[in-house]
Structure 1
Amino acid sequence: MSGPGVLAPFAGDEALQARIRAYIESHPEAAGLIRDIASYIDSLGSPPAKRKKTEAADELVKVEYEPSLPAMPAVTIRDVSFTMPLRKKYTIIISNRSLQVVQPTDHSKVELDIPLRSVAFAACLGVPERATPLWNFVVFRSNSDLYGAANKDAATEPLVFSVPETFAKTASGPLFDAMETQIKLEIEARPDVKPENSDSSSDISDEDDEDVLTYKRLLLRAFANAGVEVALPDPEVFHASKTSRHSKTEPEYHVSCHRGSKEGVLYFFNSGVFFGFKKPLLFFPIDKIEAITYSSITRVTFNLTVAVLVSRPGSSDEHEEEFEFSMIDQSEFGTIDSYVRMFKLSDRSMAEERRAKKELKQDRDDTAVNNGDSELAKASRELAALGDSDEDPEDESDDENFEDEDSDDGGSPSGSEDDSDDSGSGEEAEEASDDED
């Protein structure tokens, strides 16, 4: 029978308490597990008070980070494929205070120990051009170089690791147990669902995302509980013109481009612009962007240049640098233009205002309306004014030559075998790690 100690963390939700009580009465063997879950939740300092919907059927519980609490391992995940800073499979252990990367056979051998309060930027991004869904988690540490200096020390490189969109079968720990039990309780509470008694993993079907504790869902909750905000693509902020290969109704959220001779992708967030997954990874915080301009506009492609204020690690002095991304498809003209206009990134005079608004944590929706034409829109009209005349042969030959020059490199974000600096797909990481194992 459930006692007051088991139900205490759920005070204020009588319906949930009744469901837990009924579940324990019908499943006495689960009493110990639910008691441990209640103790764990209680040890976090306060029960989850606020739920935030991040995507359909996926809710994150925000738990305030409490520095005075001891480090408590929340979840352990085995066989995680890393592509940066090391290309190998490791075990990760996430507590309320840190993310540890450890050797699979000996957890006492810690390769990396990252305080989660020091994370500068984190994102969860779908790996482009994958036949099956795969998620890249990107973590920039406070000492990471956001602008990709030549230093490739493992202590300063960001982390990139990949997980499939499947049930988290290699995960364990109190958070995993708590979330799995929560899903089971929600399933049993439905009047039309009567699951049979069986192992935990077999109770959950991969056919219904709401009923699956996926790696992505588990990791997002673990980061949220530690106070780390993980950026997710937001269609209200930016989405590409093409649709996802995994869904006819879901758009893609990346734009293909080149950085020098390497092919990569750009993601646009309300917090900034990210380039991956070729080394070096780049992240431009929105408050550091001075302007975004366009050049080499043809009927097929255009180039984008991001001017940002740069301060290298260990120095407080800032100076402006420009980063150019080329060979962006003309079909993304409008999508990128909408983002630039939303944050007024074509106007250098607005840079100080953007920084001030970040410091004051004001809602950027107030700046979304810009009645003036952007530089990109003007260029598009000028291009249209040329009528139906043929494209400049020189521009066309330049594009062809560029593609020919890259054919040997082939740098595809889907994880081709072209480049040792590729930090892209989990598929390539898995091949590398399998060879190494």
Structure 2
Amino acid sequence: MAPSKDIPDSISSRIAVAKRQHPELADLFHDITTYISTLTGSTQTNGHGPSSKKRKLEDEPSTAETYDSIADVSFSIPQRKKLKLEISRNRETGAIRGTSAATGETEFGIRYNDVDYCICLPVPEKAQPQYSFCVLPTSGDDQLLFSVPGTKIRPEAVHSDQPVDEEQSYKDVVISMLSKRMKKTKVIQPNEKDFSSTIAQAHRKGEKAVHVKAFRGSKDGFLFFLPTGIIFAFKKPLLFYPFHSIASISYTSVLQRTFNLNLTVYSTPPSPAAHNASSNTDTDTHEIEFSMIDQADFAGIDAYIKRRNLQDASMAEQRRAQRYNVNGTNNTNGGGGGEAEGEEGGELQKAQREADEMEDEDEEEDENFDPGSEGESEGSGSGSEEGDGVDADADGNLMETELGSEAEDVSE
């Protein structure tokens, strides 16, 4: 039973190897390939069907569609290419898509009605300003990520039914186009009032960073704390967690210079209107960990979490682990009110106080410990064992014996 001709050769060869290694699964492989053929047969061309992104836009009434466009836009997801960005003028059936400048063929795209979030982010660590647009569909598949320079737009690069001011930047023009065309989705941008990093950008002096560096497993990226949620960019896939999808946030693996941020998110998020952490305790959740965040940014992140009323689960029972060097020294003003100040300081400061108290107890035990008598007795014993074989009593008897013999000599 050979794999179906509709399956790509690269996959067919792997299926053949697997069948040789596990002949008992031959029937299963055959059934799977047959089923896939029935699903894709109507769209196959030379054994390779168009990607789901292309099929998604194939039913569009292309003859009735007109588009605003910007030339030479750099796409990163789903493919790394320079394409023409096209934004449909039809708000009802329109789409955002990338097309080849040479052939006019649509490479990929997403319908307006399928867009859940559209986020514009400054690209970190670039000497010249750049901005990336993250277009996130409701299903989570077929994300789009494209970037534009932060410079003034070249009028010849734009084709639009609305006037373009030469003083506008590429970012402003794209935001204007999208805002005018998309009905249900507005473009979200980070705001320094929500969060800004305390770490200076050496390459962009005077400009505050609105991101922090972080790792998700082995992938490095950037966390942005937005007015509507938290996004991890720019590796594929983009991870966005709106507030209503977050059950709690906690801090773990706290070291002197770094800490981890853990998001416990709902597997099936409640609707934004119905979101209430206390009323969703029975909903299935899973944890997402972002590691190696600079300790210098803790205060800003903690303030952001508190302002957004996100539940902090750092002191949950399963989190009661050793924590050291958390945000420097303990801050106490005396005169009562310590508990209130601890609440103001956040969970990491509470953990710091616990660590300090444990350290103080150890120091008190060290101060109360008197090794004198025990040490002396051990020292005496050691000396008697390692000396010339004559102990204190033997010395006394020896002296008495010697003096006694001398006294006898004198008396005689």
Aligned partner of 2:176: which letter?
R
Q: 1:250 aligns with which of 183, 207, 222?
A: 207
Equivalent residue for 2:157? 171
| Residue equivalent to 1:110 | 106
The CA distance in 2 between the partners of 1:126 and 1:383, in whole Å, is: 39
Match for residue 376 of structure 1?
Answer: 348
Change (3 A) 1:102 1:303: same
Flag structure 2 segments of 5+ consecutive residues without an equivalent.
1-62, 270-281, 314-341, 361-412
Q: CA deviation at 1:325?
A: 0.8
The one-letter amino acid of 1:296's match is S
Deviations 1:306-329 (A, max 9, x none): 0001249xxxx9631100011111
**Selected match of 2:95 from 94, 98, 101:** 98
Q: CA deviation at 1:245?
A: 4.3
Residue number in structure 2 paired with 1:282: 239
Q: How far has the Cα of 1:106 moved from its partner?
A: 1.9
Whichever residue aligns with residue 131 of structure 2, its letter is: W
Aligned with 2:306: secondary structure? helix
Measure how far apart 1:262 and its partner are.
1.8
Matches within 5 A, 1:69-218: 73-96=66-89, 97-107=94-104, 109-144=105-140, 156-169=141-154, 171-175=157-161, 178-180=163-165, 204=166, 212-218=167-173
2-structure distance, mates of 1:85, 1:277: 12
Aligned-pair CA distance for 1:95: 1.9
Output the CA distance in 2 between the equivalents of 1:268 and 1:318.
25
Shift of 1:386: 8.2
* Cα distance in 2 for residues equivalent to 1:75 and 1:267: 29
1:71 Cα deviation (Å)?
6.5
Which AA in structure 2 matches 1:128?
P
- Deviation per CA, 1:29-52, whole angstroms, max 9, x where unpaired? xxxxxxxxxxxxxxxxxxxxxxxx
The answer to whether the 8 Å contact 1:167/1:215 transfers is yes
Note if contact 1:168-1:214 (Cα within 8 Å) is conserved in structure 2.
yes
Alpha-carbon distance between aligned partners in 2 of 1:268 and 1:76, rounded to the nearest angstrom: 30
TM-score (norm 1): 0.53
Contact 1:73–1:173 under 8 Å retained in 2: no
Greater shift after overlay, 133-142 or 109-118? 109-118
SS of residue matched to 2:163: helix
Relative contact order, higher structure (CA 8 A, sep 6+): 1
The residue that corresponds to 1:39 in the other structure is: none
Distance 1:319 1:335 in 2: 29
8 Å CA contact 2:125, 2:203 repeated in 1:
no
Specify which of 259, 269, 272 is matched with residue 229 of structure 2: 272
Q: Deviation string for 1:199-237 (max 9, x for gaps)?
A: xxxxx5xxxxxxx22210100001110233111111121
Q: Aligned partners of 1:290 and 1:116: how far apart in 2?
A: 29
Residue 325 to residue 236, structure 1, CA distance change in 2 (3 Å): same
Give the drift of 1:302: 0.6
Listed as ranges, the gaps of 5+ residues in structure 1 are 1-69, 145-155, 181-203, 205-211, 349-369, 389-437
Q: 1:306 to 1:106 in 2, by over 3 A?
A: same
Q: Using a 3 Å threshold, how does the CA distance of structure 1 residues 171 and 297 change in structure 2: closer, same or farther?
A: same
CA RMSD of aligned residues (A): 2.8
* Paired AA for residue 110 in structure 2: I
Confirm or deny that 1:259 pairs with 2:209: no
Cα drift, residue 371 of structure 1: 6.6
> What is the number of equivalent residue pairs in this alignment?
251
**Following TM superposition, by how much is the alpha carbon of 1:267 offset from its aligned partner in structure 2, in angstroms?**
0.5
Q: CA deviation at 1:381?
A: 4.7
- The reply on whether 1:293 has 2:250 as its aligned counterpart is yes
- Residue 174 of structure 1 aligns with an amino acid whose one-letter code is S
Matched, 1:334 2:299: yes
CA displacement 1:349-377 (0-9 Å, x = unmatched):
xxxxxxxxxxxxxxxxxxxxx97553234
